[in-house]
A and B are shown apart, each in its own frame.
Chain A
Amino acid sequence: MTASTTLALSTTNLRKSYGRQVALAGLDLEVPSGVVYGFLGPNGAGKTTTMRLLTGLIRPDSGSISVLGQSFDESKHTILYDVGALIESPSLYPHLSARDNLIVFGATGRRVGRARVEELLDLVGLRDRAGDRVSHYSMGMRQRLGIAVALLNDPKLLLLDEPANGLDPSGIVGLRDTLKALAGSGKTVFISSHILPEVQQLADIVGIVAAGRLVTQGPLSELLTSQALVRVKVQPEETAQALAVLSKLAGDGHVEISDTEAAWLTLRIVADRAAAVNRALAEVSIYASGLEAGSDLESLFLELTAPPEPPPTPTRPGAIPGWNSGVVS
């Protein structure tokens, strides 16, 4: 971020441990105002711990937090009057209706009027069931009500932990439109999510956290460009020649044979250069039988959050291949 960028949220060297388990090992976040920020990371990376710290639910071991331009700690709880949050699953009174939940929660923090409650019931599509007990709601309806609770005080900064959880496709589209509209009106939306395509559609800026540290942060478009890939399929006997040609085009180390048997080569270059790849191969009479261009957040995520190669160890009986053990999230 540039020095002139107004930050809605920032953390400096934020650290938090639970006993000997390190959840955050020096997190430095910078979230500009008026953007949708996607906060990504695998299970146990420290996303939920970060959300809890940002809302004063837990205290950091060290480091600092700035919220809406003010240094934040638990004693300055009124800063949160301008923050809305949905952390983990929605926390609601099951015996109350949606309307009563909003009224009761509206009595905490900054006072919220009845008109706002009714407005939010419409916004999240719960008007028709507003009088029903929440215990009779589906998971998606609870999620929508949880989002309404987060929006109660018309926050300048919205912190959402997995907001699309349990939502049906129309609910997800509605959420996306709402969040985009909020960001469009100058509010800042900070989303922690595992649903990468959803984040890719929503986020302006992405931060990826792994093992309690930020591994990358920046405008999504720039990150995706840096991660762009072109994949090309040739005849197996032409693989070596194609590799040489494409290495000249993309640079050494930017081309690899990703599937020897099927003769797929992968180039780490901007996706819109796929035509150049095809042309370079054609000039040496190699005609691609397959060509894929693109870049996606999932590839970036997987690459950046991949754990270091562990030394080979015998497989533990009953272990599920490919699953890391979950730790503190």
Chain B
Amino acid sequence: MRLAIAGIRKYWTRSATILSLVLAVGFVALEFVLAGVGYRSASGGTTIDKATATWLLTFPDAFDAILAIAFEFVAIIGLIYVATASGSEWTWGTLKVAVARGHSRWGYTLSTFGSLAIIVLVGLALGVLAGVVGVAMGASIAGFPMGNPLDLSALPQFFVKFARAGIGIVALTSVGYAAAMVAKNQMAGIGTVIVYFIFSIVAPALLPQIVRDILRYQPFSTAADAIGLSGPPTTVAATSTTALDPNVALAITVAWLVGLLAVAAISVQRAEVTG
């Protein structure tokens, strides 16, 4: 625990952390503002329809929209951020210091991921807050009633979905973590997650159905399905041909998380630390 807290201390002050959070928060808010702008100018020929605009800009439906969009942006940015931050443990040689100080490699690997997971979850929470603000701004621009974001009948369901999104985000960032730990290199980790992300978006559209059915079980798809969102599909959700049952998707997502952390830990355990 003390190492996880120290980890938050060391990551929180990194410019990469601040930049990643600002980007995620900014993109989420911007999405809703642009939705409002798009709907307002719909008479001029833009494509956003009223159903989509309602889903995006009116509570309680907007909770799902916020979660979907915050999940998408925080996942993408979080993947790259985690690969960057964890890869730098090798690049800077700071893993070497921890090992030479007698810290267990397993302990260091898992607690470092714990620190990064907390930061990514903070990013998701800030993304959701930015989404609420964005919805308010977008609804105002579109001339929509935004509804009540504090609707007590909708909030419990929202928090359940938020928790599921959190688990999904943490599982997704473990892809970046495992990549960086296996590659033992910051840039290799970043490159791997970018290739993975592009593949997970592009591949379903290009590959045969049987492959797409298999790709439903890759972390990006299962993590998105695990949230159990309603409404228009997001880009991420669209990667699945048919969404998995949320509980099944959640179980698979957790399995991915455990498996990827095991890969990272075993890789570090077996590594010769020469940097």
Interchain CB contact under 8 A, A56 and B99? yes
Q: Which residues of B contact A89 (CB under 8 A)?
A: 93
Q: Give residues 177-229 of B contacting A (CB, 8 Å).
A: none
A209 at the interface (CB under 8 A from B): no
Interchain CB contact under 8 A, B274 and A57? yes
Give A47-91 as 1s and 0s: 1 = Cβ < 8 Å from B's Cβ atoms. Answer: 000001001111100000000000000000111110111011101
Interchain CB contact under 8 A, B10 and A109? no
Q: CA–CA, A44 to B204, complex, Å?
A: 51
Q: In the complex where A91-B93, A92-B92, A107-B3 touch, is A55 in contact with B10 (Cβ < 8 A)?
A: no
Give A27-54 as 1s and 0s: 1 = Cβ < 8 Å from B's Cβ atoms. Answer: 0000000000000000000000000100
Interchain CB contact under 8 A, A104 and B9? yes
Shortest A96–chain B CB gap in Å is: 6
Shortest A49–chain B CB gap in Å is: 9
Q: Give residues 202-242 of A contacting B (CB, 8 Å).
A: none
Shortest A154–chain B CB gap in Å is: 12
Q: CA–CA, A300 to B99, complex, Å?
A: 35
Specify which of A84, A87, A91, A109 is in contact with B94 (CB 8 Å cutoff).
A91
Interchain CB contact under 8 A, A93 and B92? yes
B151 at the interface (CB under 8 A from A): no
Q: CA–CA, A80 to B105, complex, Å?
A: 13
Interchain CB contact under 8 A, B273 and A58? yes
Interchain CB contact under 8 A, A87 and B96? yes
Q: Which residues of B contact A254 (CB under 8 A)?
A: none
Shortest A202–chain B CB gap in Å is: 22
Interchain CB contact under 8 A, A109 and B273? no
Give A94-118 as 1s and 0s: 1 = Cβ < 8 Å from B's Cβ atoms. Answer: 1110001001111111110000000
Specify which of A52, A92, A95, A108 is in contact with B101 (CB 8 Å cutoff).
A108
Q: Which residues of B contact A103 (CB under 8 A)?
A: 6, 9
User: Number of B residues whose C-beta is below 8 Å from A?
Assistant: 28
Q: Give residues 148-197 of A contacting B (CB, 8 Å).
A: 149, 152-153
Q: In the complex where A57-B272, A108-B108 touch, is A93 in contact with B99 (Cβ < 8 A)?
A: no
Shortest A60–chain B CB gap in Å is: 11
Specify which of A88, A92, A109 is in contact with B102 (CB 8 Å cutoff).
A109
Q: CA–CA, A44 to B32, complex, Å?
A: 60
Q: Which residues of B contact A56 (CB under 8 A)?
A: 99-100
Residue of B nearest to A55 (CB): B100
Interchain CB contact under 8 A, A105 and B98? yes
B97 at the interface (CB under 8 A from A): yes
Shortest A95–chain B CB gap in Å is: 5
Q: CA–CA, A277 to B104, complex, Å?
A: 61
Q: Which residues of B contact A85 (CB under 8 A)?
A: 100-101
B50 at the interface (CB under 8 A from A): no
Instruction: Using CB atoms and an 8 Å cutoff, list the residues of chain B in contact with chain A.
Output: 2-3, 5-7, 9-10, 13-15, 92-94, 96-105, 108, 272-275
Given contacts A105-B97, A108-B97, A108-B102, 17 further A-B contacts (CB under 8 A): A52-B272, A52-B273, A56-B99, A57-B96, A58-B273, A77-B99, A83-B100, A87-B96, A93-B94, A94-B92, A95-B14, A104-B7, A104-B9, A106-B6, A108-B6, A109-B103, A149-B97
Closest 4 CB pairs of A and B: A91-B93, A80-B102, A109-B101, A107-B6
Instruction: Using CB atoms and an 8 Å cutoff, list the residues of chain A in contact with chain B.
Output: 52, 55-59, 77-81, 83-85, 87-89, 91-96, 100, 103-111, 149, 152-153
